[in-house]
Structure 1
Amino acid sequence: MAKIEIYTKAFCGYCARAKALLDRKGADYRELDVTMDRAGFETMVERASGGRTVPQIFIDGRHVGGSDDLAALEAQGKLDALLGAS
């Protein structure tokens, strides 16, 4: 199973949508809440090549983007392959 990390903030609808998709897929993920974590937020921005919005999603260390990007991978039939990779 792939290692999934998702950076989130409290009360973020896009974060909830991305997590719901991952939950429907039965994927285990590590949620990193950066709501009050400035250092964690800066780490996210660095890893996401400047991306400052949440969620920021990484699968096996590869930045896949945000909620819309995750949904697009699902619509294209490419998400399952990423989630099954290790």
Structure 2
Amino acid sequence: MEKTDGSGSVALELYSTSFCGACRRTRAVLDRVRQLLPEITVIEHDVAFEPHLAEARGIRSTPTVIVRGAGGAETMRADGVPTIDHVLVAVARAMDAASAGSHGALPASRDQNSGVHRSPR
């Protein structure tokens, strides 16, 4: 697994395509989650430009959201548009797993201005 950022925080990966209406709705869900939890990293991969990555990760449809804990382990995968609550529960589980592994330490905070990371096109 590639390291998504240097903070060791929970990461949300969105596998999308530019022409996908459901992908736009999923971006809105992830943007809302990020507003609520600014320490979360959001990385978007356009499968049209990164088909090898989508294949390696077993992505079969867009949108697909993967929640990864601080160590990079997948804690949730959702095909289609997830609800905000669904993503928040998955993030909480990922944070719980991280804190259990680090004896209660909270994930490192990120700069709130860093925004969404999108893969190069």
User: Does the pair score TM above 0.5?
Assistant: yes
Stretches of structure 1 lacking an aligned partner (at least 5 in a row): none
Runs of 4+ in structure 1 displaced over 3 angstroms? none
Q: 2: distance between equivalents of 1:9 and 1:28? A: 19
More helix by share: 1
Q: Any stretches of 5+ residues in structure 2 without a counterpart? A: 1-8, 35-39, 69-73, 99-121
CA RMSD of aligned residues (A): 2.1
Q: What code does the residue aligned with 1:7 have? A: Y
Equivalent residue pairs, number = 76
Q: Which moved more, 1:36-45 or 1:54-63?
A: 36-45
Compared CA separation, residues 81 and 41, structure 1 to 2 (3 A): closer
Task: Tell me the equivalent position of 2:30.
Answer: 22
Where 1:10 maps in the other structure, the secondary structure is coil
User: 1 CA distance for matches of 2:31 and 2:55?
Assistant: 26
1:17–1:67 Cα contact (<8 Å) kept: no
Structure 1 residue 79 corresponds to structure 2 residue 92: no
User: Does structure 1 residue 40 correspond to structure 2 residue 73?
Assistant: no
Taking structure 1 as the reference length, what is the TM-score of the superposition? Answer: 0.68
Considering only CA atoms, is the larger Rg found in Structure 1 or Structure 2?
2
Partners of 1:63 and 1:82 lie apart in 2 by 6
Between the aligned residues of both structures, percent identity stands at 22
C-alpha distance in 2 between matches for 1:56 and 1:78: 13
